Structure 1
Amino acid sequence: MDTFRGFAIILVIFGHVVSQPPLFGYEAPGWMQDIRVLFAPYRMEGLMLLSGMLLPRALKKPLGPYYLGKVRNIAWPYFVWAAIFLMLVLRNPTWMDPASWIATNWLWFIFFLFAYYAIAPALARVPNWLLAGAFWGGAVWLELGAGVDFGTTGISILLAACYYGGFFFAGAFVFDSGLVWKLKHRATLVVTGVIAAAFLVYRYRIDWDVYNDVLYVWGSIGTVLFVLGILQRLPARFAPPLQSIGRSSLVYYASHMPIIYLWMQLLAAVGIDSVPAVFVGAFVLPVVLGALLAHFQKSPWVGWLFVMPLFSARRGISVSSSQVA
């Protein structure tokens, strides 16, 4: 799963490399936009599905350690990086508006993740497949019944929370059902491969821009499970780079957007408009600097950015690494 998580993080960074520079007047080449759209129905859906697969084991912990872990590893880095982005990167008064701290920009994923983990113990007796269906049902009602569109404010956030909540609890069902261990079996690969192919053909022939649509979650899930199965069959020598990113996925995810913004601000300040410099730098810098942050994340000087420190009289300040869990 770390391999796919690392692959998805690379896709997330690439997607933001394409979508954010236009805010600064830099338009991405057409081929980059096409790649971004190609993977749009899979990257965040895949990350949320994998995060849900970690839920069953997490729920075996006592409630105290369970919630402390989620506060330290999810809520804390959310607020740290929201503060960095709002106060140091954007540098405008929006940080004084409480609404700015709700699902802040790219951190919406971590915000939702904490919300799902927060309610999960209370829903532990409800089958995960039923929870997934209930969340997607809520998304259908909001989108088709109430006419709500995806967005970043108000009830649009609730629509997104319902849509991605379905993937989170579907991931928990995939783990609980044992399907996660059968993904590399030939029969499972055939079934998920047919689903992935059917979805791709539908997109190519009818609607290429299908994403964030609850009516097509079957295609997203089938494709993600197919890719997971393929990655499990990869020779071991191809896995380590992606696994390394996947094991520190929160580090890369939380840090990449401020790095992209700061790079754009630097280029705009010095008047550089070279397309290769803009987009190569916007992709390479988050990966390289993310790797450095991941390497030093166990140091208290870096670790506090991603895990809430705990003070022990014996050990002093203690931090540990985390995934986007």
Structure 2
Amino acid sequence: MPTTASAPPRPRLLWMDVYRGLAVLLVVLLHAQTALVDSGLERSPVLSAVNAAVGSFRMPGLLLVSGMLLTLSLRRPAGEYLAGKLRRIAWPWLLWTAVMLPLFGWEAGLEPTWWLNGAHTWFLTVVFVGYVLGLLLKPVPPFVIAAMLFGAAMLVDPEAAAGSAGEWLLVLERMTWFGGFFFVGAGLGRWREDLPRIPWPFMVLPLIVTGDWARRAVEAGRFPAEETWPVMTMSVIGVVSILWLLAQIPDNPVMRAFAWVGRHSIVLFVVHYPVIRLLRRVEAIPDGLPGALLLFGAGTGVSLLLAAAYPWTRYLFEWPQRSGTSGASRRRTRTSA
């Protein structure tokens, strides 16, 4: 009887990759906008509205989609499972957290919380911890884990403590709140192939609610970042609704382009921010929309070049594979890691 490790990989789902690609591009856009503000330049009202509208679905969506692959990954032997997460998540997390040290000060590297919070790599911290918890708590239903994490997040208040205590609480807050979305995705993962087949009458109300939530965020000038059950519920409804909507779009060159970005989302995620941080020091950067688009274009452009050169830049984003690893094993890693 064949083992689970030798089972043929399932094909990638286009709409999941498209969502991941769109979400990571929106992260770049957010950081381009905030870089202007951090530099004392004027923000773009247009981009402020965009960032407010998508804020509830951007990072929660990236975590939820990542969690949808947990069940598939857990079919591997534990050693292979952990080795894959160390190679493809822990390595870029540590490497690119270290890359940010010259921009934030070398002394930051002496703080343990830097390696967990980083500057933008905290997302990889949450994903890695989520996969480890998924293995350790394998018998526990993912939705139960999600509920416990969300409940814990609502008890954490990083602003209530100063100094290093506040930093540790921030780590805990991110691990629990965003970890909750990871395990919601893990719970939904078993139905991911059924999601596109939900009849449209059942999705009309969730789509209307999602649109209204985004509209309210634009009117308020920010997305609701409070850690409450209603905010969590609306984020999940919004992410699932957008995933369903993307799944209804026929395969076409535009969808495949965004899906390619999604398959290389790790590259865009870790590379864009140091590029933006370096470029924002240039005094000639204009205010508003032109400046934000310049930073967005630079961060995205450099990232896409490194993604296109992945056979030569792979070591920047995953620990080199052992020479004895079979091609079939590598294909399994690319398909469901």
Q: What band does the TM-score fall into relative to the shorter chain?
A: 0.7 to 0.9
Q: Per-residue CA shift, 1:27-66, capped at 9, x if unaligned? A: 2122222211111111000000000001000000000000
Give the whole-Å Cα distance in 2 for the aligned partners of 1:56 and 1:284. 36
| TM-score under structure 2 length normalisation | 0.84
Task: State the shift of 1:142 in Å.
Answer: 2.4
31-40 vs 44-53, which deviates more? 31-40
Unaligned runs of 5+ in 2: 1-15
1:71 aligned residue (71, 81, 86): 86
* 1:252 paired residue number: 268
Aligned pair 1:170/2:184, yes or no? yes
Name the CA shift for 1:208/1:310 in 2 (closer, same or farther; >3 Å): closer
1:46 aligned residue (53, 56, 61): 61
1:262 aligned residue (274, 278, 287): 278
Structural RMSD (CA): 2.9
Give the whole-Å Cα distance in 2 for the aligned partners of 1:153 and 1:323. 36
Give the whole-Å Cα distance in 2 for the aligned partners of 1:109 and 1:314. 28
Give the whole-Å Cα distance in 1 for the aligned partners of 2:251 and 2:99. 37
Give the whole-Å Cα distance in 2 for the aligned partners of 1:211 and 1:34. 15
Name the CA shift for 1:282/1:66 in 2 (closer, same or farther; >3 Å): same
Name the CA shift for 1:203/1:180 in 2 (closer, same or farther; >3 Å): farther
Aligned pair 1:121/2:162, yes or no? no
Q: Per-residue CA shift, 1:192-228, capped at 9, x if unaligned? A: 3244245346546789541242321111111111111
Name the CA shift for 1:226/1:160 in 2 (closer, same or farther; >3 Å): same
The aligned length equals: 313
Greater RCO between the two (CA within 8 Å, min separation 6)? 2
Q: What one-letter code is carried by the residue in structure 2 that aligns with 1:93?
A: E
Kindly indicate whether the alpha-carbon contact (under 8 Å) linking 2:88 and 2:319 is maintained by their aligned counterparts in 1.
yes
| TM-score under structure 1 length normalisation | 0.87
2:314 aligned residue (292, 300, 303): 303
* 2:258 paired residue number: 242
Name the CA shift for 1:82/1:131 in 2 (closer, same or farther; >3 Å): same
* 1:274 paired residue number: 286
* 1:286 paired residue number: 299
Give the whole-Å Cα distance in 2 for the aligned partners of 1:232 and 1:172. 19
Kindly indicate whether the alpha-carbon contact (under 8 Å) linking 1:255 and 1:286 is maintained by their aligned counterparts in 2.
yes
Unaligned runs of 5+ in 1: none
Task: State the shift of 1:287 in Å.
Answer: 1.5
Give the whole-Å Cα distance in 2 for the aligned partners of 1:174 and 1:261. 36
Task: State the shift of 1:277 in Å.
Answer: 5.3
Report 1:118-267 matches (<5 A). Answer: 118-143=132-157, 153-176=167-190, 178=191, 181-185=194-198, 186-197=200-211, 199-200=213-214, 203=217, 209-215=223-229, 216-237=231-252, 238-265=254-281, 267=282
State the identity %: 25
SS in 2 for 1:298: helix
Kindly indicate whether the alpha-carbon contact (under 8 Å) linking 2:67 and 2:184 is maintained by their aligned counterparts in 1.
yes
SS in 1 for 2:225: coil
Task: State the shift of 1:303 in Å.
Answer: 1.0
Aligned pair 1:17/2:32, yes or no? yes
